[in-house]
Structure 1
Amino acid sequence: MTLEDLQDDIESAHSEHGERLTVDTDRQTRHELAMLVAALDPEDTDELVRTAIHTYFQSIVDRGTLDFHLRSGYDCTYDEYLSGMTYDQMAGNQFPQQQDNDDRRYQF
């Protein structure tokens, strides 16, 4: 997959989720959310969920986990996604790999 495939998948997921996101929660998640609501007293629980997603996203970016998964699935990194081009495209392929031309290898 490529950088363009990643862009298409992100746009597809973005439109699929729309403005509202419905998530089923288990008992542990509800308990932890209730604890956060009690401790932090937010205006609404939606703000806590948004903050949790932002925090999780930032942590996997900082640890390099996002780049690992993007490289595995799309052969690009988050920086490449943000810039809209791969590192090879940014560098302009200034240093192409030398072809395996052994014709002159042992000539003096």
Structure 2
Amino acid sequence: MTLDDLSDDVSDQYSDLGDELAVSLDRETRNELALLTTALEPESTDELVRRAVHMLFQTAIETGNMDFHLRSGYDCTYDEYLSGMTFDEMTGANQFPQAQEKDDRRYQF
């Protein structure tokens, strides 16, 4: 898959999500959300869920986890996604392709 595939998939997911998301909670998540709501006193639990998504996203970026998954599935990084170009396109490596011939004689004396 490519950078273009990633952009298309992100656009599709964005459209599919809509403005609201129903999430089922297990016992542990419900308990943690109740404690966070009590301690932080947000206007609604929706605010805590939004913050949680932002924190998870930021952590995935900072730890390189996002790049790992993007490289595995789409052969690109988050920086490449943001710029809309692959590293090779940014550096011009695609403009001057090298010959792919193996010249084994080069190292023979």
Structure 2 length normalisation: TM-score? Answer: 0.90
Per the alignment, residue 77 of structure 2 pairs with: 77
Report whether the alignment pairs 1:13 with 2:13. Answer: yes
Which deviates the most, 90-99 or 13-22?
A: 90-99
Please tell me the root mean square deviation across aligned C-alpha atoms, in Å: 1.9
Residue-by-residue CA offset, 1:10-38 (whole Å, 9 max, x unaligned): 01111101011111111111110000000
Call closer, same or farther: CA 1:107–1:27 in 2, change over 3 Å. Answer: closer
Segments of 5+ residues of structure 1 without an aligned counterpart are: none
Per the alignment, residue 58 of structure 1 pairs with: 58
Per the alignment, residue 39 of structure 2 pairs with: 39
Call closer, same or farther: CA 1:30–1:104 in 2, change over 3 Å. Answer: same
- State percent identity of aligned pairs: 64
> How many residues of Structure 1 are paired with residues of Structure 2 in the alignment?
108
What's the offset of the Cα at 1:101? 3.9
Structure 1 length normalisation: TM-score? Answer: 0.91
Which deviates the most, 98-107 or 52-61?
A: 98-107
SS at match of 1:22: coil
Call closer, same or farther: CA 1:107–1:65 in 2, change over 3 Å. Answer: closer
**Residues of 1 paired with 2:13 and 2:52: CA distance?**
19
Equivalent residue letter for 2:89: Q
Per the alignment, residue 4 of structure 2 pairs with: 4
Per the alignment, residue 102 of structure 1 pairs with: 103
Segments of 5+ residues of structure 2 without an aligned counterpart are: none
Q: Runs (4+) of structure 1 moved beyond 6 Å? A: none
SS at match of 1:105: helix
